[in-house]
């Protein structure tokens, strides 16, 4: 059982059908280890709760932020009961009176210093904050406070934020049919370097090293082994796909 603030949030989201709801939620993770299942439940609970918190911290929840939450639910292929719980957690997150720091401190403890897992969690929150195309001051402040509580430095946080912004540009450009090809390619190259966390002046060895580091941090199988719910594999796969695309773009341009 998941106790503490996270357990209270999950229990409130399941409501009076707690026992039946837990049986239906048993599909999350399914790693067989009690420790792994606790981590996966903590990740699921903290993710949707904090998505609601970040969405509301600027005073209003936009349709883009709601769409992002729905997109994560679709990528996880949640069943009806799981989706209902995720929505309830998102709604609880919008209640700014809840002690967010206590929730995050328990999440960090449950993760047992699995840094890649906490980074993935933070990246999803950055994606939520950037969903409406604008990073509001209160959103950035809340994201930084979250990163601090999870043990990330200011430099680490800025790199995660820059990569999130670059990935958002990537996805927007893939959907856009109106930009001229030259403008799109120029923007993508700039974003490619940001996605790898390096500058355009990096040499070939530094580019390859950055690519391998990012792939190692976001490898879906490794993340699942550390406690990422199996249902979130699609999110991790999309990140590795964008990293590969960025690396190939840089190599092709340099040729």
Measured between its terminal Cα atoms, the distance across the chain in Å is: 55
Provide the 3-class DSSP secondary structure of residue 59.
coil
Closest listed residue to residue 188, CA positions, set 162, 169, 164: 169
Closest listed residue to residue 166, CA positions, set 224, 101, 247: 247
What's the pLDDT tens digit per position in 151-172? 999 999 998 998 888 877 777 6
Cβ burial, residue 149 (10 Å; 0-12/13-18/19+): middle
Total domains in the chain come to: 1
What pLDDT score does 33 carry?
54
What pLDDT score does 203 carry?
92
Over residues 240-245, mean pLDDT: 86
* Spatial separation of the C-alpha atoms in residues 115 and 208, rounded to whole Å: 22
For 199, other C-beta atoms within 10 Å of its C-beta total 9
Closest listed residue to residue 216, CA positions, set 197, 229, 199, 232: 197
* Spatial separation of the C-alpha atoms in residues 240 and 185, rounded to whole Å: 20
Q: Which domain holds residue 109?
A: 4-254
What pLDDT score does 196 carry?
87
- pLDDT exceeds cutoff 60 at 24: no
**Per-residue confidence band for 11, with pLDDT thresholds at 50, 70 and 90:** confident
What's the pLDDT tens digit per position in 111-140? 887 888 899 899 999 988 988 888 899 999
What pLDDT score does 21 carry?
42
Name which residue leads in pLDDT, 16 or 207.
207
pTM of the model: 0.74
Q: What is the mean pLDDT of the chain?
A: 81
- Asked if residues 107 and 18 have their Cβ atoms less than 8 Å apart, the reply is no
Over residues 21-29, mean pLDDT: 46
What's the pLDDT tens digit per position in 185-225? 444 888 888 888 888 899 999 999 988 988 888 877 777 77
What pLDDT score does 1 carry?
61
Measured CA distances, 253 to 94, 163, 188 (Å)? 44, 20, 11
- pLDDT exceeds cutoff 60 at 177: no
* Spatial separation of the C-alpha atoms in residues 4 and 10, rounded to whole Å: 10
């Amino acid at each position: 059982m998941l106790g503490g603030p996270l357990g209270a949030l999950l229990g409130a989201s399941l409501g009076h059908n707690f026992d039946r709801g837990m049986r239906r939620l048993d599909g999350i993770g399914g790693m067989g280890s009690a420790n792994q299942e606790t981590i996966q439940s903590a990740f699921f609970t903290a993710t949707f709760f904090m998505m609601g918190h970040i969405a509301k911290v600027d005073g209003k929840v936009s349709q883009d932020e709601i769409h992002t939450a729905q997109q994560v639910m679709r990528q996880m292929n949640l069943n009806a009961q799981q989706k209902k719980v995720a929505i309830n957690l998102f709604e609880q997150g919008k209640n700014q009176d809840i002690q967010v720091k206590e929730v995050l401190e328990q999440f960090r403890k449950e993760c047992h210093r699995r840094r890649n897992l906490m980074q993935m969690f933070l990246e999803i929150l950055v994606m939520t904050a950037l969903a409406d195309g604008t990073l509001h001051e209160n959103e950035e402040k809340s994201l930084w406070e979250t990163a601090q509580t999870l043990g990330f430095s200011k430099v680490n946080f800025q790199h995660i934020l820059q990569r999130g912004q670059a990935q958002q540009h990537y996805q927007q450009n893939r959907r856009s049919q109106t930009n001229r090809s030259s403008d799109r390619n120029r923007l993508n190259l700039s974003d490619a370097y940001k996605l790898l966390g390096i500058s355009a002046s990096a040499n070939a060895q530094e580019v390859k090293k950055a690519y391998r580091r990012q792939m190692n941090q976001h490898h879906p199988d490794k993340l699942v082994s550390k406690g990422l719910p199996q249902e979130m594999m699609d999110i991790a796969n999309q990140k590795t796909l964008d990293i590969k695309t960025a690396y190939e773009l840089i190599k092709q341009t340099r040729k």
